[in-house]
Amino acid sequence: MSDSARRPPPSLLITALPNIPDIHPGDNVAELVLSALAAAGLTLQNGDILAVAQKIISKAEGRLVNLAAVNPSEQAVEVAAQSEKDPRLVELILQESDEISRLKQGVLIVRHRLGFTSANAGIDRSNVGPADDAECVLLLPVDPDKSAKNIRQTICDRSGIDVGVIITDSHGRPFRLGTVGVAIGVAGLPALWNRRGEEDRYGYTLQHTDVGVADEIAAAAGLLMGQAGEGLPVVLIRGLTLPAQEGRASDLVRPKELDLYR
């Protein structure tokens, strides 16, 4: 019997953590994750990956903005008229962005200051707070890679276990309907896995294979996180074997000079 026949088939365990409370500014997300793991009877293992929804990071970092306090600029008023959006929201979108990518009735797609292109600069109203906070919106973290690094460091310090952390958000895609989870913050694992130079099963040497592994993990975690009232913003992923490489979400952003659609 061959060695491959003796080995069990590869598998991946994906577990949503229950008991994550509502998050408030100043909360320590890493400590809350450790408490949720303990309450669920789960013990971390080296190589585990924690996918954390952007919303709880943004809330903990105080990125909640009341639109009533926003004074739109002339540019925001002009763009709002073309997109039929709230001028106050447009003002925040412009502040969070480097440039407008697409603008038409009901649509405002921008290049976010973090490098990726998305609708409304990732600013969201869903799962922000109670109905009486309808005027409040949530901005993305200032530095999601740093947020992921800080969470990873705290968990490693407290548990002695080496884990990876991904901050996830939901993005639409050109030419495809539906949103999927993507990585906007990465620590402790590669964001982009360069497999060029490896051989396929028939001996062909791979020439152009870069795997967006952090995005793949974020999308898998999104199956459990959900988009509505699931209340499961942290997902544990176990069973992946990845290169020992420190990546960043910015590794996934296609440079302007290589973007054929820009």
Domain count of the fold of the chain: 2
Q: Are residues 78 and 96 in the same domain?
A: yes
Q: Are residues 49 and 178 in the same domain?
A: yes
Q: Are residues 242 and 212 in the same domain?
A: yes
Domain that holds residue 17: 1-63+141-262
Q: Are residues 88 and 166 in the same domain?
A: no
**Residues 230, 85, 117, CA angle at the centre, nearest 5°?**
65
Question: In degrees rounded to 5, what are phi and psi of residue 26?
Answer: 95, -10
Q: Are residues 45 and 173 in the same domain?
A: yes
Q: Are residues 151 and 50 in the same domain?
A: yes
Q: Are residues 189 and 262 in the same domain?
A: yes
Sign of CA dihedral 121, 126, 129, 133: positive
What is the model's pTM?
0.89
CA separation for the pair 22, 133 (Å, rounded): 14
The predicted-structure confidence for 53-87, as pLDDT tens digits, reads as follows: 999 999 999 999 999 999 999 999 999 999 999 99
The predicted-structure confidence for 148-199, as pLDDT tens digits, reads as follows: 999 999 999 999 999 999 999 998 888 888 889 999 999 999 998 777 767 7
CB 50 within 8 A of CB 34: no
Q: Are residues 92 and 162 in the same domain?
A: no
Report the CATH number that the domain containing residue 243 is assigned in CATH. Answer: 3.30.1330.100
